Amino acid sequence: MLCKTKYADKTGSHMVPHFLLKRIENIKGKKGRGYELGFTIQESEIKFHFGQSVLPEKLEEVIGEITDKEREENRNPHIVDHIFCSDCEKRLAVVESAYAKTITKTGTEDYESGIISSLGMLFWASIVWRMSINGKSGVILKSDQNEKLRQILDCFLPDKIENLDENGIKENGLMNSMSYKLMRLTELNDEDAKFLLFHPDFYNPLCILIGEFLLCFSLENRYDDLNTKDLFGINKMVNDSSTNTVLGNEVIKPIDRTTSKMFESNVVTRIKKEYHGKAK
């Protein structure tokens, strides 16, 4: 589905790179996996899935007691078979492993993550696109937007990181029309769940909460929805944060513990409202 030429032979492709949802390994020496708590909010229903290491208390806090049936049917909808060929999967992995190197770096004020934002743009665009075409996140882009993303990814995802065409990206019209803001909950604790949620109300920008990261991504450099819709109480902070374009280095705004708690509580309130108000 990326190159549209080779047979999609790969199985187990992750739409959301796993490293974004697992613990950073140095925290208390643990190497646990499966801490994510994923929600799909659609018009008529809400779905969820949870990693094996999510604490039962956390699950209960957000969705109440889990039935045996729900436990049995618990599957990660963002892992998919036969969507990419091996070559495309490798190209996605090249950008992912380059990006993964940045996550040990944090800061208490706006900080540079250590990569150029053209690489960050490819990385985050690839996640937005994958979540959209997979259709399991609750937000699906228009078909021309999906195609626009597919084309730039197919064009610019390198086979090796040395081959990243930085100048080509900077000169590309589509790449230049896109931008993103990136927030990070830098002070999450071990017991905090890592949410995966594509905000159902936002299009300009698209807003995805992925573990510690809150990505606000725009295909047309538009952030109007931040002035009219609630982004879990942190609209002002997001509005004030740097906008990453293909020029320059990626800048991330850290969210402190107090704001994180308020933010998370707003996320949980929203999910609860959706969960109890809709069919499962």
CA end-to-end span of the chain, whole Å? Answer: 30
Q: Strand pairing of 249-255 and 111-116? A: antiparallel
CA distance 84 to 80: 9
In the complex, the smallest distance separating the C-beta of residue 84 from Zn ion, rounded to whole angstroms, is 6
* Count of residues touching Zn ion (by CB under 5 A): 5
Radius of gyration of the chain (CA): 18
Q: Binding to Zn ion by residue 85, rule CB under 5 A?
A: yes
In the complex, the smallest distance separating the C-beta of residue 7 from Zn ion, rounded to whole angstroms, is 8
Q: Binding to Zn ion by residue 208, rule CB under 5 A?
A: no
3-state class (DSSP) for residue 196: strand
In the complex, the smallest distance separating the C-beta of residue 160 from Zn ion, rounded to whole angstroms, is 16
Q: Binding to Zn ion by residue 157, rule CB under 5 A?
A: no
In the complex, the smallest distance separating the C-beta of residue 87 from Zn ion, rounded to whole angstroms, is 5
- Part of the chain binding Zn ion (CB under 5 A), chosen from 4-12, 45-53, 66-74, 217-225: 4-12
Nearer to Zn ion among residue 9 and residue 256 (C-beta):
9
Q: Binding to Zn ion by residue 82, rule CB under 5 A?
A: no
Nearer to Zn ion among residue 154 and residue 230 (C-beta):
154
Q: Binding to Zn ion by residue 88, rule CB under 5 A?
A: yes
Beta bridge partners of 39: 48, 197
Sheet strands (E) in 117-255: 179-185, 194-198, 206-210, 213-218, 249-255
Q: Yes or no: say if 122 and 150 are a contact pair by the CB < 8 Å rule.
A: no
| Interface with Zn ion in residues 95-114 (CB under 5 A) | none
Q: Binding to Zn ion by residue 6, rule CB under 5 A?
A: yes
Q: Binding to Zn ion by residue 206, rule CB under 5 A?
A: no
Binding site for Zn ion (CB under 5 A): 2-3, 6, 85, 88
